[in-house]
Structures are given as C-alpha cells and as structure tokens.
Amino acid sequence: MQRSSVTMKDLAAALGVSVMTVSRAFKADSSMNEATRKKVLQAARDLGYVFDSTAANLRTQSTNFVAVIIPSINNANFADTVGALSDRLAEAGMQVLLGNSGYNIADEEVLIEQLLRRKPDAIVVTGGRHSDYGRKLLAGAGIPVIETWDLPADPIQYVVGFSNAATMHALVDHFVAKGKTRIAFVGGDSNADTRGADRRKGFIAAMKQHGLDTARLINAGQAPLGMQAGARAMAELLETMPDTQAVIGVADPIAFGALSECQRRGLQVPRDISIAGFGAYEISAVSHPTLTTIDPQPRRIGRETAELILRLRSADADNAPEPKITQIDWSICAAQSS
Amino acid sequence: MQRSSVTMKDLAAALGVSVMTVSRAFKADSSMNEATRKKVLQAARDLGYVFDSTAANLRTQSTNFVAVIIPSINNANFADTVGALSDRLAEAGMQVLLGNSGYNIADEEVLIEQLLRRKPDAIVVTGGRHSDYGRKLLAGAGIPVIETWDLPADPIQYVVGFSNAATMHALVDHFVAKGKTRIAFVGGDSNADTRGADRRKGFIAAMKQHGLDTARLINAGQAPLGMQAGARAMAELLETMPDTQAVIGVADPIAFGALSECQRRGLQVPRDISIAGFGAYEISAVSHPTLTTIDPQPRRIGRETAELILRLRSADADNAPEPKITQIDWSICAAQSS
DNA sequence: ACTCTAATTGTTATCGATAACATAGTGAGT
DNA sequence: ACTCACTATGTTATCGATAACAATTAGAGT
C-alpha cells in the first residue's frame, strides 16, 4: 500500500528490455514493434504500473495542464465555461487546474502565483482586471494567457469574451421598446465583480442615451450574489420606489429572487413589473413567468478558449499571430410577455 | 517571452550562494539566516523567478494535489463540496485536481487512471460505485482514497457521506404525517446516478413500510437532470396520475421544475399538491412557495474530507487507523406549509 | 554474398529541486 | 585557549521519464 513504487525501470528489468523501450510503449506516436509494445503494456497491467507524469513533466518541460481562474465555482455560467473547456481539453489529453478567486483581486494574485508554479501550458483568467503584480506575473509567464468573459481595454495577450456593457444596452432597449421608462438595476459592489460593474455601467449609459432617470440603482451587497440577495433588493426597491416598471438583475439568480419577492407581495409579473436578468440560467426559462435574459453562451466561451489553446500549442513559436481577440456572440432571450 | 528559464541555479549564481541556500529560502520552515533569505527572495522577484514545482514534485515524491472526481461540475451541491474542500486544502498549500465523470462509470475509470498519473497525495471520489478496474486502481494507488456523498456497503478506504436512502424515508414520513398517501417520486435512470437510485430505493422502502402504493415513479431521463426535466416529468405525472397528492424530486432542480409546471397549470402548491426535493439548493428557500428539501450539508462534506486528508498527511504511516467512516448529518427543511 | 535503407532498440545526459550528509563559522562556558 | 553546541551554508546523489544520438538487426536490391 506504499505509494506505487513500480517504475519503468522495473518493467524494463522484468521484460529484459531497456527503459527507453518501455517509455516508447507509452507514447502512442513513437515507432516501435507492436508486439513489444503489447508485451510492455501487458506487463504494466500485471505489475500495477502507473505512469508517473511528474517525471515526464520535468523532463519535457510541459505538463498538459491548463490553469483556469474563475471568481466562483458555484456559478452556473462559469461552471459551464469550465465544463466545456475541460471537455475539449480532455480530448487532447490536457487537464484543467482550477482556482477560485472569490471575486477578489488580491486572492487572484495569490492564485496566479500558485498556479504558475505548477508550470501550466496555458493560463485562463476571468475578466480583464487584475492586480498590478498579478498582471506582471501573467505577462511574464511565458505561456499563453487568455482573458475571458470580458473585452479588456488593454489585453495581456488573448481574449475570448464579449462586452458586458453592451448586453445591458440591449435589455434597456428591450424595455424601452415596451414603453417602460422607470427601470431599475440591481447589482453588487462594483469593486468586486468587475463584469457586474461593467453591466451596471452599460445600464447607466443606455438609460442616459434614452434620456431616462438613472437613479434606480440598488446595491445588493458583495458578490457572489444569490437569489436571497435578489429578493432582499427587490423588497428594498418596492419600498423606496414602488412605481418602478422594470428591474434588471445583474444575473439571473438575482432576477429570480426579485421575481419571487414580487410573487410573495402579490404583484403580477410582468403585468405590474417586468424583470430581466443575465446569463440564461435554466431558471430563466423554467420559472413562471419566465425571465428575460441575456445568453452569453458560456459553453461557447469555454470551447473557443480550448480551441485557441490547442491551436497555439500546435503552432510553431513564431508563426502564431492568430486573431488576438475572439468575440463571442450573445443574444437576448425575451420572456414570453415581459 | 519564452517559458521562464530562470532557475534556482541562476539565482544562486547571481547571489554567489549555493543552490541549496536558494532552495531553503523558499521553504518557510527551514532554518537559515533571515537576511540571506530576504536577499534570495528579493533576487527572485527581481529576476522574475517562478518556483518550479514539477521538479520538487519529482524529488519529494509528493505533489500537494488532491484529485477529486465529481459527476458534474454544474451541480450546486457538488460545487459546494468542491469549494469547501478546495478552500480548506488551499490553507494548507494543497490544490484540487478536478475531474467530471459525467455520471458515467466508464468515464470515471478513465479519469481515475489519468488523475493517478499526476501522483496526487489523495483521491476523492463521489459515490461508492465504480468499475472493477477503477476500484482496483483506487485500492492500489497507495494514497488515501475517500468516497463521498454515500455510505458504500464495501468501502475502499475512507468514507465521508450519508445514507441517501434514509433521507427519502424522512421525506415520506413527513408527507405521511401530513396525511398524504398518494406520493410520487421523480428521478433519473438508475444506472447513471447511483445516489439518485439510492434515493429512489429509499422512497420505495419507506412507502412500503407505510403500506402505501409505490407505483408513482416517474423516470425523468438521463442524469444530469435539470429543471426542464422536472417540469416535463410533472406534466407526465399530472396527465397519468392526476390524483397525486405529493411529489418528491430526486433533487431540488427537478422539484422546482415540477413546481413551475404546477403553476403553469394553475395548480396551487401546496394546497393541491405538495412538492419536495433534495439538496437544499438556494431555490428551495426562495421559490414561492418554498420547497421542502433535505440539507445534506455539502460544504460540510467538503470540509470534513479536507480535514481527514490533512490528518492523514501529518500522521505517521502506521498510527493512522482513524475512524474510517465519517457520517455527515442531514436535516429536513420543511416548506412553510407543505 | 554485399551494400544500403529502414525499422527497432539501446546509451547517456538531463530536466530543476531537495534529502542527507558534510563542513565552516560563532560564541558560550570552563 | 579549548571544547562543545549550534547555526549557516555547501556537496553530492537522486527522483523517473525522455531527447538526442548511437547501435543493432532485418530485409530488399543487385
């Protein structure tokens, strides 16, 4: 029950071949006698040999790891992105090394440092805002760096994302087209969730563009915001500005919390008040009534990121200009009658 | 922009000390002159040195990785467990290497094999059912193996979990106490999600114990099951057995989907029909009406697993009997008036 | 039989950090 | 001044696989 001490050396000795032959047997693309390979693989199974990638990692200077930092694992949007990224990378034999920053730039910096020690072949971060030192670490890591879920003004290297602000323009336009003018936005503290902050900025800009009052901003607290926070925020909104006609939640859980609070108070949605969110969480389509939302295609972000990494990996060092920015399309999913 | 080629050797040369001195500077607990350590760390920062754990991993035969396999990352319960596990391990400088089995035992086997190649210091799996070869790999890995979210009849080594079947007893008892007798269960294909299958078994056993009809079983399809599947299953149930008085969903998303379908059909919950789920997802407390559910303390599972791993790590090889089974308490959260 | 090419297997050095042991330096106590 | 204990640093060998190159073997062509 000791840590498996069977090495290639042991296999080689057992079979009377050199260690190199054993090594080759495990590399699918190396040319060798198929009969010998079979013998090696059989012996490996018999002796309970487990390939030791720590040794291979050191020698080959590549780990087949991709480091991924997300603000929270408990967020269906990020989980979708990581899932899609991970699935695609797994097909190429690569694995994801995940870190949660907890919506915190200082924690992200620590994570970046820790993850880089593991010598990943690429690093994927969420958003375009980082600590100065974090940014420096990323830029100097010597591996592909991909910022996602955002369109940073000053990208480090590669970007796979979209404009969070633009999505809010679309929602405001949607509500204005329906004749709503008193529209509120429920979001979190802006310094934590920068994508949320961008959405709030987009909301304000869109409202101004329509000549509408931008005073209906509710701060629901610190990210991560859940349904409960949405419900509380809605309660506050209904107390202070009961004539509000529409509410945009920074994400669907907040929007659903708001919806549930309306229901508890006997308000009819969308007759009395309209509600929209962000993220196309499953609940937006299942709740009764359904929620208007933005579908940012989280799985698409993950898959495109994976494809980019795989292309960069197979590219020669020099001929890898690539489009640096991959924009992901998003779409508005209107509730049946919001 | 090449992969950072600064090594301890470079630092040592730059400072005129030996590599060993540099190495010691990075190990907090090694005794050395604090002034020298400061100089080394400063030089590291200046030269952009990044510690290379691939080398340390090989030499020390330990990676500070914990491999964790969950059925789906897009499941708030598992995400909570992984989050808590990861947070606690991070405090001890360890990291989680995550794999998704997709509720599939064959895929799990492949994952076990891949993850063990990385030489994790421990491996955590979800549930107690594995392929024969997967089980053999786990048993022979020579590292702590922890099965979670279940109480396997034949544990490999350690277990941190609870009886899924027992939770369903509690729900059935709850409904029976309220005078319900025509109770349905909505679950998925039993061979994929074994915890879901255990809950179904628990449901059937409890119903039989109360002398009730166990025919109201709806198969909502292949795991992972979402809210949509719950809504569809509810529709089917209402068509085929409209006199059903209570419905138990194998997890909260199914239960909420069922609730939403009732609302679409104008049924009053819980007046016309009661609904319960499992998992204490946030939605069970926020939906209107709220859902009766079971709180299996997913974060607790993660934390206890982490603590166990840390205890095993610091224990000597021999004196580590430990309680092999850690049972996690769960509780029933009754809706206001279900 | 003889050369030549291609397929197969072997040898050696190495990736970068660290355990284990060795050595130099420092100061207290007598 | 001398020993002892202790701190700080250096030396050497090593973890296990693999790149690069070397050597051997087998079969084809003449």
What are the residues facing A183 on neighbouring strands?
A246
B324 touches strand C (CB under 7 A): no
Residues from chain A that touch B55, judged by Cβ atoms under 8 A, are 58
Average pLDDT score over residue span B54-80: 96
Summarize pLDDT for B100-114 with one digit per residue, the tens.
Answer: 999 999 999 999 999
pLDDT at A31: 81
The whole-angstrom separation of Cα A2 and Cα A70 is 36
Average pLDDT estimate for B256-273: 96
Q: How far is A10 from chain B (nearest CA, A)?
A: 17
- Cβ contacts (< 8 Å) between B228 and chain A: which residues? 282, 285-286
Contacts of A286 in chain B (CB under 8 A): 227-228, 230-231, 256-257, 260
- Interatomic CA distance for residues B64 and A229, integer angstroms: 36
Instruction: Using the Cα atoms of residue A123, residue A325, residue A193 and residue B73 in order, give the sign of their dihedral.
Output: negative
Q: Which residues does chain B have within 8 Å of residue A74's beta carbon, measured at their own beta carbons? A: 76, 79-80, 83
B181 touches strand D (CB under 7 A): no
| pLDDT average, residue stretch A53-67 | 96
Query: Which nucleotides of chain C are near protein (any atom < 7 Å from a CB)?
Result: 7-12, 14-20
Bond prior to B224 in cis (omega within 30° of 0): yes
Q: Give the residue-averaged pLDDT of A35-47.
A: 92
The CA distance from B279 to B295, in Å, is 5
| Contact call for A119 and B282, based on CB within 8 A | no
The alpha carbon of residue A52 is apart from the nearest alpha carbon of chain B, in Å, by 5
Our measurement of CA B133 to C1' D18, in angstroms, reads 29
Per residue in B4-53, pLDDT (tens digit) is 589 999 999 999 999 999 999 999 877 888 899 999 999 999 999 999 99
B25-CA/D7-C1' distance, Å: 15
Distances (CA, A) of A156 to A142, A217, A307, B21: 12, 32, 19, 34
CB A327 within 8 A of CB A162: yes
A-chain residue closest to B47, CA distance: A140
pLDDT of B200 > 90? The answer is yes
Question: Which one of B50, B113, B114 has the shortest CB-CB distance to A116?
Answer: B50
How far apart are the C-alpha atoms of B51 and B88, rounded to whole Å? 23
What is the torsional sign of CA B64, B68, B72, B76? negative
For A229-246, what is the mean pLDDT? 96
Q: Which CATH number fits domain A64-162+298-328: 3.40.1670.10, 1.10.3720.10, 3.40.50.2300, 3.40.50.10320?
A: 3.40.50.2300
Angle at A114 between CA B137 and CA A50, to 5 degrees: 20
From the Cβ of B55, is strand C under 7 Å away? Answer: yes
Please report the DSSP string for B98-142 in residue order. EEE-TT-HHHHHHHHHHHHHT--SEEEEESS---HHHHHHHHTSS
Tokens (6 digits) for B72: 């789906």
Residue A127: phi, psi to the nearest 5? 85, 170
Helix pair A34-47, A19-26: axis angle to 10 deg: 90
Please check the confidence at residue B2 and state whether its pLDDT lies above 70.
Answer: no
- Give chain B residues 18-37 with Cβ within 7 A of strand D: 18-21, 24, 31-33, 36
Tokens 């600590």 correspond to A131
Q: Is the CB of residue B276 less than 8 Å from the CB of residue B291?
A: yes
A74 touches strand C (CB under 7 A): no
At A324, give phi and psi (nearest 5°): -75, -25
Residue A281 has pLDDT above 60, yes or no: yes
Q: Which residue in A has a C-alpha nearest to residue B262's C-alpha?
A: A288
- Say which of B96, B143, B264 has its CB closest to residue A3: B143
pLDDT value for A20: 94
pLDDT digits (tens, 9 = 90+) for B267-282: 999 999 999 999 999 9
How many percent of chain B have pLDDT more than 70?
96
Per-residue pLDDT, averaged over B323-336, amounts to: 92
Share of chain A above pLDDT 70, in %: 96
User: Which residues of chain B are within 8 Å of residue A231 when distances are taken between CB atoms?
Assistant: 286
Partner-chain contact A286 B231, CB within 8 Å: yes
CATH of domain A164-295: 3.40.50.2300
Nearest nucleotide (C1') to alpha carbon of B26:
C17
Residue B317 has pLDDT above 60, yes or no: no
Dist CA A96 CA A90 (whole Å) = 8
Of A228, A264, A282, the CB nearest to B288: A264
Q: Which class for B230: exposed (0-12), middle (13-18), buried (19 or more C-beta within 10 A)?
A: buried
Burial class (CB in 10 A: 0-12, 13-18, 19+), B153: exposed
Does the CB of A62 fall within 7 Å of any strand D atom? no
> Looking at this protein, which amino acid is placed at residue A325?
I
Tens-digit pLDDT profile for residues A86-111: 999 999 999 999 999 999 999 999 99
State how far the Cα of B186 lies from the Cα of A33, in Å rounded to an integer. Answer: 54
Instruction: Give the amino acid at B292.
Output: T
Residue A106 token pair:
């200082």
**Mean pLDDT lowest among A169-178, A190-199, A233-242, B308-317:** B308-317
pLDDT in tens, A155-202: 999 999 999 999 999 999 999 999 999 999 999 987 889 999 999 999
A149 residue type, one letter: W
Outline which parts of chain B fall under CATH 3.40.50.2300. Answer: 64-162+298-328, 164-295
Question: Hey, are the CB atoms on B73 and A95 less than 8 Å from each other?
Answer: no
User: Can you tell me the distance from the alpha carbon of B119 to that of B112, in angstroms, rounded to the nearest whole number?
Assistant: 11
